[in-house]
Structure 1
Amino acid sequence: MWNGDGTVEVYGFRVFYSEVDCVRRIFEKYPETATNIRPKNQMVKNAYMNNLLDLIDIICLAPQELTEEELRNAESQLLELVEVGFKLDWLKNKLEELCVKKKKMEARGARMRELDGLIMEQRRVLWELETELKNEENEAVSDSARLGFEDVV
């Protein structure tokens, strides 16, 4: 149902036309999402729906695009939505997966930096050994050369 303010009513929430498909997909896949929502005031319900859509947008980001603080804020936002009656176990699982990916990514990055440091150190050692080998080869060539008459007399 189209409203004069540029919104459409979908499953009891007024959302912008651009959000209709998203809201429909949420309720088609997870029909229990808002069955126990306590706020009856339409503006409050709409604000919570906007929070839910914002939270989904955050969870869609790549782990490296989010800070730890943003993830904590997302967790707080999720808890607030659950407290007012939203059933969001499905979203909680996705947020937990994102947090795990972020931690793995950070650990992997630290390990990659550590390995890079080890490789650089090994390259330095190898360069020093190659230089030492070349010096030894030069001395071996010099030591193994035949002496000429001029060298002896």
Structure 2
Amino acid sequence: MWNGDGTVEIDGFRVYYSEVECVRRIFERHPETAVNVRPKNQLVKNAYMNNLLDLIDIACLAPQELTEEELRDAENTLLDLVGVDFELDWLKKKLDELCVKKTKMETRGDCMRELDRMIVEQRQVLLALEVELKNEENEAVSDSARLGFEDVV
């Protein structure tokens, strides 16, 4: 139902027209999401819906785009929504996956930096060995050269 304030009512929530498709998809894919939501005050319900949409936006980000603090805030917001009877197991799963990916990404980054350091170190060792080999080759050529008459006499 279209309201005069630029919002549309979907399952008891007023959402801006730009959010209608997102909210419809949420309720289509996860019909249990807001069935038991307790707040009756429309402003409070709208604030909760905005928090839910913000959480979904966060879940869509790449792990490197989020700080640990933002992830903790997202988990707290999720707990607040669950506390007023939103059913968000599906979103919790996605946020947990995002946390795991971020941890893996950071661990992988540390590992990659260590491997890079080891490669640089090994390149330096290899370079030193190549210089030593070249010196040995030069000495071997010098030692194996025939002596000329003048060198002997």
**What TM-score, normalized by structure 1, do the two folds share?**
0.98
Which residue number in structure 2 is paired with residue 60 of structure 1? 60
Which residue number in structure 2 is paired with residue 91 of structure 1? 91
1:149 Cα deviation (Å)? 1.8
Counterpart Cα distance in 2 of 1:69 and 1:43: 27
Query: Is the counterpart of residue 128 in structure 1 residue 128 in structure 2?
Result: yes
**What TM-score, normalized by structure 2, do the two folds share?**
0.98
SS in 2 for 1:15: strand
1:4 Cα deviation (Å)? 1.0
Query: Is the counterpart of residue 38 in structure 1 residue 38 in structure 2?
Result: yes
Counterpart Cα distance in 2 of 1:22 and 1:140: 77
- Amino acid paired to 1:33: T
> Sequence identity of aligned pairs in percent?
80
Counterpart Cα distance in 1 of 2:124 and 2:79: 52
SS in 2 for 1:127: helix
Matches within 5 A, 1:1-150: 1-150=1-150
Counterpart Cα distance in 1 of 2:102 and 2:45: 31
Question: Which consecutive unaligned segments of at least 5 residues does structure 2 have?
Answer: none
1:61 Cα deviation (Å)? 0.3
Counterpart Cα distance in 1 of 2:146 and 2:25: 89
Residues 107-148 of structure 1: CA distance to partner in whole angstroms, max 9, x if unpaired? 111111111111111111111001000000000110111111
Counterpart Cα distance in 2 of 1:11 and 1:39: 13
- Amino acid paired to 2:8: V
- Amino acid paired to 1:122: Q
1:32 Cα deviation (Å)? 0.9
C-alpha RMSD of the superposition:
0.7
Deviating beyond 6 angstroms after TM superposition, the runs of 4 or more aligned structure 1 residues are: none
- Amino acid paired to 2:26: I
Counterpart Cα distance in 1 of 2:43 and 2:73: 23
